[in-house]
Copies of this chain bind each other. A is one copy, B any other.
Amino acid sequence: MTAPAKPTYDDVLRIPAPPGRGAAAGRPLRIEEVAERAGVAPITVSRVLRHPEKVNRETRDRILEVIEATGYASNPHARALRSGRSNVVVAFVSNILSQQFGLAVRSFAATLEPEGFEVLVGQTSYSYAKEVAMIQSLRGIRPAAVMFTGVIELHENRAALAELGIPVIETWAFPRDPIDMLVGLSNTDAGAMAARRLADAGHRRVAFIGRSSGRGALRRDGFRAAAAELGLDVVHEIGVGEITGLVDGRAAFTALLDRGGRIDAVFCANDLLATGALIEARSRGLTVPRDLAVLGFGDNDVADQITPGLTTITFDSAAIGRIAGELLLARLSDTPSAEPRRAVELALVERGSV
């Protein structure tokens, strides 16, 4: 699927340059040249950039003017080499295509970039092996900090991360013992919330669909425990492997029906599964929620576009990124936050599928 016969050229709009304002020169400036122009020593320029308050106002203004005029940008490699600190922060995402993770990483980056950090995004693909490799590669990158959209389960990786000696932020769950900093949500509570909602709607015979490891398992456990307390009967639990699309939800729902027995409602550990289940249920002639209620988790983009809309448990994933960024800035500025373990709230979004 590469070279076609003969593609037509696109007549792409070209916006001309405004008069004046020459483009920046080819070879990057060194701090020395800026210093020369401003009539100071290089170190003074350096100070203006890192600790402006320690430089005389007039000197500073003069230097800033030169910096502005020349478009000088310091060489991050030289800076990192000499100072031992890099301005790169690595965010590891278990699935780069996820809306939720994307929102979190986006707000994480938006919080850090104004402070001069570059956020580099890596992907771990829900795989321990990949995680090991990525953490190894951190020894090379030497970032200022790392953030994960998840928590690290493998002991070896936890130890390796701790020994990097840089801030580590875990997210998306609320473990007792984070490696370092944490911005999470209680998946256990999410499961319990699901059970409570289904019980409130009068459903008695319920089922669970979700991954049987990681956060899916945590939601399942919370669901299971709360269901028991509420007198619900968890008829079946369908475990799924890697989730790649709605199709997995359809398959899981089919597997659920194949197991037999009456079911009033199903809690799916994420909205992709729930949407797939809902579509499959409808295509089998079931009316949702009359014949079967479906409850999701995560409030994906599709959740409110199907009929009936998917009732789901949600939280502010952008806030996770933002708070993670703020915790990190606090830590790096030597005024660390009192509580480096934050939780975001869960909320129910009612849309009619329960």
Q: Is the CB of A1 within 8 A of B279?
A: no
- A188 and B24 CA atoms in complex are apart in Å by 33
Whether, in the assembled complex, A238 has its beta carbon less than 8 Å from a beta carbon of chain B, the answer is no
Interface residues of A in 1-55 (CB under 8 A from B): 1-4, 7-18, 21, 23-28
List, in ascending order, chain B residues with CB within 8 A of A160's CB. Answer: 23-24
List, in ascending order, chain B residues with CB within 8 A of A14's CB. Answer: 153, 155
List, in ascending order, chain B residues with CB within 8 A of A103's CB. Answer: 97
Give the size of the chain A interface in residues (CB under 8 angstroms).
Answer: 96
List, in ascending order, chain B residues with CB within 8 A of A195's CB. Answer: none
User: Digit string of A314-354 for contact with B (CB within 8 Å is 1, else 0)?
Assistant: 01100100010000000000000000001111110000000
Closest-by-CB residue of B relative to A27 is B165
A33 to chain B, nearest CB (A): 14
Q: Is the CB of B8 within 8 A of A192?
A: yes
Copies of this protein chain in the complex: 2
Whether, in the assembled complex, A139 has its beta carbon less than 8 Å from a beta carbon of chain B, the answer is yes
Q: Which of B10, B24, B319 has a CB less than 8 Å from the CB of A163?
A: B24
Q: Which segment of A118-126, A229-237, A287-295 sits at the interface?
A: A118-126
A7-B305 in contact given A12-B153, A97-B103 (Cβ < 8 Å):
no
**Chain A interface residues toward B at CB < 8 A:** 1-4, 7-18, 21, 23-28, 71, 73-78, 80-81, 86, 96-97, 99, 102-103, 105-106, 109, 118, 120-121, 123, 128, 136-137, 139-142, 151, 153-156, 159-160, 163, 165, 173-176, 184-189, 192, 213-215, 217-218, 221-222, 245-246, 275, 279, 301-302, 305, 315-316, 319, 323, 342-347
Please name 24 pairs of A and B residues whose Cβ atoms are closer than 8 Å in the assembled complex, sorted by A. A1-B319, A3-B343, A4-B343, A4-B344, A9-B174, A9-B175, A10-B173, A10-B184, A10-B187, A11-B176, A13-B153, A13-B213, A15-B153, A23-B159, A23-B163, A26-B163, A73-B140, A76-B77, A96-B106, A118-B120, A121-B121, A246-B305, A275-B305, A302-B302
